[in-house]
Amino acid sequence: MALHRRLLSFWAVALVAVGAIVAVAALLREAQWRERLDGMAQIPLQQAWNASAAQAQATLSARLDEVQRLPELRAAGSGAATIDAAQLADRLARAAAAAGLVQVDLYDSHRQWRASSAASPADQPLADVASLLAMAQPSDGAAQRADISDPAQRVGIADPAQHAHLPNPTQYAGVRLREAGRERGGGPALYVLARRLDDGSVLAAALDLRPLLLAAERQLGRPLALTSPRGLLLAGLPPARAQRHTLALPGLAGVDGRPAALLLAARPDDAAAPPLGWLPGTWLAAIPLVFVLGLASAWRRLLAPLLGSARLVEALADGQLQAAADDADTLAPTQAGGEACRLARAAERLRTELRALDALRDERQRVAAQQTRLIREQLRALADMLDAAGRNEILAQLGDEGTGDGRPQLARLATLLARLTSLVGTQQGRLLGLLRELQESVRTRELFASLQQELAIARRLQQAILPRGAPPVPQVAIEATMIPAREVGGDFYDWFMLDERRLALVVADVSGKGVPAAFFMAITRTLLRSAAAFVSQPAQLLARLNDALAAENDETLFVTLFYAVLDVETGQLDSVNAGHNPPLLRRADGRVESLPSGRNPVLAAVPGLQFQADRCRLAPGDGLLLYTDGITEAQDAAGALFGEAALVTALAAAGPQPVQALVDAVRAFENGAPQADDISCVWLRYAPE
């Protein structure tokens, strides 16, 4: 909003507020004056009504005294059965007519209706049961309770039993409403006086309220109207005249002490017109408005030169650099003291500077666009050196030129360059790791090749120490084989001549596999051969061999071994089985039987042990099979074992040279499963000349 508009708005609001305050004060003053006049006008109305009510009450009290002197009343009030109700009603009617009363009712000490001067008292009683019960309550207006029979005109009687503890009144008076269609010699409003007699009976009398209204009109000098609390006209002015410029005297008490009627009267002529009308308030509100309009017109002419400059500054602020100030603003220095001219020229200089800045900004944007394009090309070249995931990520961000996040292009490219640097560093780290792994793999492969070569040499050496030729005696024929599970194994067999007629046979199985078992096997073979040269008994030989192996067994390896000495002349076989598989003996007739199982422990476990030897005799044509557990414990793909029974069956079915047949049977059982353990077997056939 322009400056002059803000100033005009401020003064307009201030003057309008002052005018409104003046108008409201005038209206409040008028309302107070009207309320004071109404209060003053109600005083004579209240006095006139009170005087008429007092006169009516005095008249009713005097006339009740006359009716009370009737001798029939005392007997009727006591409830004597000898009193004729019709006679009593006739007597009350004559008394009411003589006294000028509308109606007289008599109720006994039990508050039961006894007689009435009315022709049909049950239709229009002066007091119903509630009114009679109210006679037992206090006589102050706030606590009295009474009602009429018709619910449509009932004033609202509360439960009279709420006041049963209070003392009984002797007399009360008040206004009573009746239905105009049922009146008997009286109007719709009555003034009722009820009195409790000494014997407990109640005597009630009523006067027509209209004479009281006329008396009050004569005293007041103005017409009056009487209405029910709900607005029903009872007497006096018609409703049309009572609706405007009237005074209301509310709360004319009924027989129950509650408001039973409203008394309406026209205001006096001197109070009908307000002291202030709408015209002064209107003028008070119009004067500030006229002043504001004149001030706005003057200020508009005074500040007109400044408006052009303000519009120019606003246009420049909005980026409209082609806008220019009016010539009238720049060439009229006498208007507004020359301030408008100076402001317009300053705005023009500002426009020139802004246009120069705009041209400079365009040039910088052009240079930045060229730099951005060059950087994008270099980033694409670098992205091609990344892996597929990183390259796709960088190229996707480079392709989103029109979907930026509001930041400058160079800032976005700087973020992208940082991401590219991170990806390049990550990829370089992975490449260096792969290079190190490759170098380690090459070294490992070299070591593995060297180890393979060394193991091959060890395998050849192990095979070289096994006996190759038959013993130099014609009585026996031997064939043997050893198949290690790895490059080298822990099984070995051997035979050698102890003398000219004794042949030593041995087969052994070292615990474990591979190089440790092979070394331990070589040590065992060497110690066995060296000890056999000095000890001829097999049991003593194995005892010495056990002590030698157990002495320096840091790896806690052990050996199962079968050692036998065959006398080639007699066929006697002395043997010791140190925890090894018992050899199989195939007789010349083809029967296969097993030598006794070993009763001795394994070697190299505990030093100082003694071993027991066994003896049997080979007949011409018999064959002895020595083997290791690599045959009986061979497994197929399901993990089932070859077993000793299958070995016996295969040996029985084999020919005179069963070694290769046994190996083939094991391979057929394995059915391609890897070899589980070293396989060794020695076949000796005894055939003396």
CA distance readout (Å), 21 to 17, 24, 25, 28, 507: 6, 5, 6, 10, 133
Give me the numbers of helices (H) and strands (E) for the chain, helices first please.
16, 19
Tell me if residue 275 falls in helix, strand or coil.
Answer: coil
pLDDT > 70? residue 123: no
Check: CB of residue 586 under 8 Å from CB of residue 651: yes
Beta-bridged to residue 264, according to DSSP, are 225, 248
Band of pLDDT at residue 623, cut at 50, 70 and 90 = very high
Measured at the CA of 346, the angle between CA 345 and CA 350, to 5 degrees, comes to: 115
pLDDT on residue 133: 57
What pLDDT digit, counting tens, does each position of 42-70 carry?
A: 788 777 777 877 888 888 888 888 887 77
Q: What is the pLDDT of residue 662?
A: 94
pLDDT score of 145: 36
Phi, psi at 546, each rounded to 5°:
-65, -45
Binned at pLDDT 50, 70 and 90, residue 333 comes out as very low
Beta strands in 156-310 (DSSP E): 171-177, 189-196, 202-208, 224-227, 233-236, 246-253, 259-266
Is the pLDDT reported for residue 367 higher than 70? yes
Burial 223-252 (b: 16+ CB within 10 A, else e): ebbbbbbeeeebbbbeeeebeeeebebeeb
Query: CA-to-CA distance for 79 and 105, rounded, in angstroms?
Result: 15
* pLDDT top residue among 133 and 262: 262
- Bigger pLDDT: 459 or 370? 370
3-state secondary structure of 299: helix
Angle between helices 409-465 and 514-532 (to 10 degrees): 20
Q: What's the confidence (pLDDT) of residue 581?
A: 93
CA 235/CA 439 separation, integer angstroms: 129
How many angstroms separate the CA atoms of 637 and 670, rounded? 7
Strands 103-107 and 202-208 turn out to be: antiparallel
Q: Which of 376-390, 499-513, 666-680 has the lowest mean pLDDT?
A: 376-390
DSSP letter, residue 557:
-
Tokens read off for 220: 């007041």
Helix or strand or coil: residue 385? coil
DSSP state of 580: P
User: pLDDT exceeding 90 applies to what percent of the chain?
Assistant: 23
Collect all residues with Cβ–Cβ distance below 8 Å to 489 and sequence separation of at least 6.
462, 482, 483, 513, 514, 517, 518, 521, 678, 680
Number of Cβ within 10 Å of residue 437's Cβ equals 10
Extract the tokens encoding 419. Answer: 């991401």
Measure the CA–CA gap between 60 and 615, rounded to whole angstroms. Answer: 166
Q: Tell me: the pLDDT tens digits for 433-472? A: 988 998 888 888 888 777 767 666 766 766 767 888 889 8
Lowest mean pLDDT among 355-369, 556-570, 651-665: 355-369
Rounded to whole angstroms, the maximal C-alpha distance in the chain is: 189
Q: Is the dihedral of CA 18, 23, 28, 33 positive or negative?
A: positive
Give residue 238's pLDDT. Answer: 58
Phi/psi of residue 366, nearest 5 degrees: -65, -45
Model-level pTM greater than 0.85? no
CA angle 306, 308, 311 (to 5 degrees): 110
* Least confident residue range of 15-24, 152-161, 675-684: 152-161
